[in-house]
Structure 1
C-alpha cells in the first residue's frame, strides 16, 4: 500500500504482544473462517478486488492514498480514518501513522466508534479485534455497510454469499460448523430486467430522453444570471447544495441567511446539511420530491438531482415547460 510517503520504524518488540493477543482471542470462544472454495467465487472476487477496492481508491484519491488489498491495508486504521473524514465529515485528532499494535488498536477503536454511530447496524459483524487481525469476512461486512450507508449509488454485486467454518472453543474441545454468510443481498432481478425496468417504468429515464435535462439547465442559468452564476455541469454542480439554495431563494423571492448554510462547504456533512435544508424548503413550499434523499444529490445521482430541479422547473418554468412537454408529446406520437 502506498500511503503518500514512506516511514520506517523498528516495531519488532511488538511481536510477543501480538502473539499473546491472538492466543487470548482464540481461547475466548468463536472464530469464523471463509472456506477456500468460496474464495474462488467470481462474485466474491468482483466485490473484493474490483468494486470495493475501486471505491476506496476513488474516495481517497485526493489524499494520495492507494489501497492494494482490502485484506492487508485496513488493519491499522489509517484508511478507515480517512474514509470517515471523507464520507462522513468526521475529523478525529489521531496520529496519522500508528506504528505499534496498541496505537493501531487505539486508533481503530476511535474510528469504529464513530462509524458504528453512523452505520446504525443492530448486529455488527465486525469489531476492533477482527479488523486489526485482518479478518477478511469482518472487513468485507464493514466496507459493504459503509458503501450502502454513504454511497448507495455504488452498484455492489448482488447476492454474494460465502461458506464459513465456525470454530467454537470450549473446555471440552473444539466444535466446528459450516454456515452461509450473506455479504450482499439478492436484488431479486437480473441485469436485463433492470434494463427493462429503467426503459419502461422509470419516469426519470423518460424525462432524460425528452430533452428535459437541457431545458432545465437553460432554465437554471436564466434564473441565476442575475447573480452572476452559470451552471455548466448539472450532474455535479448541485452536489454541495449551494447553487440549489441560491436558486430556490431567487425563484421564491426570499433570502436564506448565510448563517443557515455553508457557502463554502468543505466536508461531506456540510454538503449534506445544505442539501437537506434545500429539500426541507421545497417541502415547506409544497414541492414534494418523492424518494429523493440528501445523500442522493450529494453523491451526484443525476436522476435524483433532476427530480429536485424539475420540481422547481414545473412550478416556475412557464412557457419553457409547456414547450418541452409539447415537444416530448410530439416525439412520443412520432415513435408510436
Structure 2
C-alpha cells in the first residue's frame, strides 16, 4: 500500500472516530438534560435570545466540551436561569465594565468564555487598574502552552490578592481554561470587587441561580441541580448601599455620633502609620494639616501600590503655594483612580485645600476599605450603629 493511501486511510479513520465521539457526546449531553425533565429550547426561543442580545443559552453548548473522562464533572446554568432578570442585569454590567475599561486597547469582549479563557485579556485588565503590574510577557499567546502559562500567571497574581482580602476562590485554572462559564462568572465578580469598580454598585443585590452539575459515570452523565450563589445579599448590603453613600455616613458620624469618631480615628491612624513608617513619618491624629499639601497622600499611594514616586522630578517635594499643593493632591487622586478607586465620588480637591475635615475622613476611609482585609468589619460596625435620629439612613 502506498504512503499516500496509508495517509488517506489514517485521516479517514481519525475523522470517523472524531465524528463518532462528537455524536456520543451529543447523545450523552442530551440524556443528562432529559433526565432533569428540562424541555428543549425551540427555534423561536433561540431566535428570541439572539434578538434580545442574550448570551450563553443552552443551545450554544459545544458537545465537545462534554467529552468527559470517567469521573470528570462539568457545570452549566439551568436553561431558565438565562431568563432571570438579575442574571441579565449582571451580564450587562460586566460586559459594559469590561468593554469600557479595555476600550483604549481596542479590545471588545463578546464572549466571556472565548475571550477570557487564556488569561491575556484578564492581564490587560489588571494592567489598566494597576499600571505597575506586568503579567504579560509577550503579545497575544498563540500556542496552548503559552496560553496556559499566561493564565497561570494571571490567576496566581489575582488569587494572591484575593487571599489577602479573604475572598473565596471558586474556580480552578482548568475550569477557566476549559471555558467553564460558572467559574468565569465567579472570577469576574471577584475581580470587580477587588478593584472596587464603581459600576459594581449597579449589580443586583443578590444573584442565586440553578446550576446543572453533570458527572460522567459508567459512560453516562449523572446530573443534579444545585443553587449557586454569585452575589450575596448581605455583602451587597454592606459594600454597595453603604459604600455608595459613605459621604452621608461620615456626615452622620460627625453630626449624630461624634463619640464614635474616636474609634474610627484609631483604626485609620493605625492603618496610615503602618504605611508611612517606611518613610519615617508618624501621624499623631487625623488632622487636615498632615495631608493638605498632598505629600502624605502620595506616600500612602506609593506604598499601598508598591511603586516609587520621584517627587523632586514630577511634583513639589516642599509645596510653597496652593497651586503646588493642588498639583500634588491631583496626582494622588489620579493614582487612586488608576487603582480602581473613584475618589471624586467622595472627595473634592478644593475641600481638602480649604481644610474640610470630613472630606479627609471620607478619603482615608476609602483607602482603608480598598486596602485593608478587615475593612468589612469596620464598615459593618459603623453601618449598624444604634439609631440616634429618625431621619438618618445609616444610624
Question: Normalising to structure 2: TM-score of the pair?
Answer: 0.47
Among 215, 219, 223, which residue is 1:176 paired with? 223
User: Is the CA contact 2:205–2:232 (under 8 Å) kept in the aligned structure 1?
Assistant: yes
- 1:199/1:133 CA distance change after superposition, 3 Å: closer
User: Is the CA contact 1:76–1:132 (under 8 Å) kept in the aligned structure 2?
Assistant: yes
Among 150, 156, 169, which residue is 2:195 paired with? 150
Alignment correspondent of 2:156: 113
Alignment correspondent of 2:272: none
User: Is the CA contact 2:76–2:212 (under 8 Å) kept in the aligned structure 1?
Assistant: yes
Distance in 2 of aligned mates of 1:312 and 1:298: 26
1:16-55 → structure 2 map (5 Å cutoff)? 26-48=69-91, 50-55=92-97
Alignment correspondent of 1:68: 110
- 1:167/1:112 CA distance change after superposition, 3 Å: same
Among 92, 97, 101, which residue is 2:144 paired with? 101
Q: Does 1:160 align with 2:207?
A: yes
What is the CA-CA distance between 1:168 and the residue it aligns to?
Answer: 3.0
Alignment correspondent of 2:170: 125
Distance in 1 of aligned mates of 2:350 and 2:184: 36
- The number of aligned residues is 231
User: Is the CA contact 2:99–2:109 (under 8 Å) kept in the aligned structure 1?
Assistant: yes
Alignment correspondent of 1:83: 125
Distance in 2 of aligned mates of 1:157 and 1:98: 35
- 1:27/1:101 CA distance change after superposition, 3 Å: farther
CA RMSD of aligned residues (A): 4.8
- 1:165/1:98 CA distance change after superposition, 3 Å: same
SS in 2 for 1:72: helix
What is the CA-CA distance between 1:35 and the residue it aligns to?
Answer: 0.8
Among 135, 150, 167, which residue is 2:180 paired with? 135
What is the CA-CA distance between 1:42 and the residue it aligns to?
Answer: 2.3
Structure 1, unaligned stretches of length 5 or more?
1-15, 208-246, 275-293, 318-336
Distance in 2 of aligned mates of 1:198 and 1:66: 32
- 1:27/1:87 CA distance change after superposition, 3 Å: farther
Distance in 2 of aligned mates of 1:255 and 1:81: 31
Distance in 2 of aligned mates of 1:29 and 1:63: 37
Give the greater-gyration-radius structure (CA): 2
User: Is the CA contact 1:46–1:157 (under 8 Å) kept in the aligned structure 2?
Assistant: yes
Distance in 1 of aligned mates of 2:343 and 2:301: 21
- 1:134/1:188 CA distance change after superposition, 3 Å: closer
Structure 1 residues 222-260: Cα deviation after superposition (integer angstroms, max 9, x where no partner): xxxxxxxxxxxxxxxxxxxxxxxxx966847x977x9x5
Q: Which has the higher helix share?
A: 2
Distance in 2 of aligned mates of 1:75 and 1:177: 26
- 1:302/1:77 CA distance change after superposition, 3 Å: same
Structure 2, unaligned stretches of length 5 or more?
1-17, 23-63, 255-287, 312-334, 360-395
